[in-house]
Amino acid sequence: MGKKAVLLVVVITLAVLIFGWYFLQNVMINYDVDRDTSQPELNQKDIEWAISRGH
């Protein structure tokens, strides 16, 4: 493979990794918010605390 082909593969790989990481972060955040709000015994302060801890 030429240098351009190698560079293209590296760029595509990095793009996929970055997109995958970003996508997983969004999925985890959305899952936590949905899970917390589905429990009525938790009040808003508990939800904000859980989100601020990153769980």
Q: Domain residues of the chain, as ranges?
A: 17-55
Main-chain dihedrals φ then ψ at residue 34, nearest 5 degrees = -65, -40
Going from the C-alpha of 6 to that of each of 2, 15, 18, 19, the distances in angstroms are: 6, 14, 18, 20
Average pLDDT, the chain: 78
pTM: 0.45
How high is the pLDDT of residue 33? Answer: 60
Kindly state the average pLDDT of the residues 8-27.
91
pLDDT tens digits along 28-48? 766 666 555 555 555 667 777
How high is the pLDDT of residue 9? Answer: 97
Per-residue confidence band for 27, with pLDDT thresholds at 50, 70 and 90: confident
